[in-house]
Amino acid sequence: MKCLLCHETFYPPFTFRYFLTLQQEDPVCPRCRQRFSLIEEPICERCGRPYREPLCEDCKTWKTIGNALEKNRSVYQYNEWMQEVFARFKFRGDYVIAEAFRADFTNAFFRHFSRNVLLVPIPLSKERLIERGFNQAEALASFLPLPLWNALERRDHEKQSKKQKRERLTAPQFYVKDSKQIEGKDIVLIDDIYTTGATVYHAATQLRRYGASSVSSFTLIRA
């Protein structure tokens, strides 16, 4: 078969684990797979980045602002290889690349969260959705066999990557479309990348304001 990322032909090893569990073969060759860097302990207990102390400096700042977001957990570190693959996935609209993340994304989610949660993907603006062709957060959330609700809409149409850090931390980004669907629910926000934390913190603030019992987030990458 051909590797989903480098397009070179490779031959997945036959294992009884795949035969007995009917798991899909890895669509990524071993050489490309080993270039990903999974996040491992120790980590910051709030944002999930590799860190030796309980709280990183960014999370100490967020703690003074509020506690709307209980925690974030992520799958991969943002190394050079992930930067290249992520650009193809997010900015060049290569939807099929999401399959390269499926197994690691699903396994990591259920290490950190229970099944008794409601998934809420971070939305794109209409402009970004047209530009990219699909919502990366929704694509990732679709891997998880859990209830999903598009509870949020964007207020701000400007790309986050074009903003200064202070603007990201303070500008409101979302509003809640239907509070009845989230009242009393334990929610896990799904997004592609956690950078400053502003996106998921603002989303969590709105969801808690409209009745969510708790809000955490789960992202593919921790930058």
pLDDT of residue 92: 87
Would you give per-residue pLDDT tens digits along the chain (223 residues)?
A: 999 999 999 988 766 555 554 567 899 999 999 999 999 999 999 999 999 999 999 999 998 888 899 999 999 999 999 999 999 999 888 999 999 999 999 999 999 999 999 999 999 999 999 999 999 999 999 999 999 999 999 986 555 555 565 555 556 689 999 899 999 999 999 999 999 999 999 999 999 999 999 999 999 999 9
pLDDT of residue 173: 83
CB 90 within 8 A of CB 81: no
- Does the predicted model carry a pTM greater than 0.95? no
What 3-state class would DSSP assign to 200?
Answer: helix
As a whole number of angstroms, the distance between CA 206 and CA 155 comes to 12
Q: What is the pLDDT of residues 76-92, one digit of tens each?
A: 999 999 999 999 999 88
Q: Which stretches of the chain are DSSP H helices?
A: 16-21, 30-33, 57-65, 80-90, 102-112, 126-132, 136-141, 165-170, 198-209
Structural domains of the chain sorted by starting position, each given as residue range(s) with its CATH number in brackets = 25-157+172-222 (3.40.50)
DSSP 47: T
CB 66 within 8 A of CB 197: no
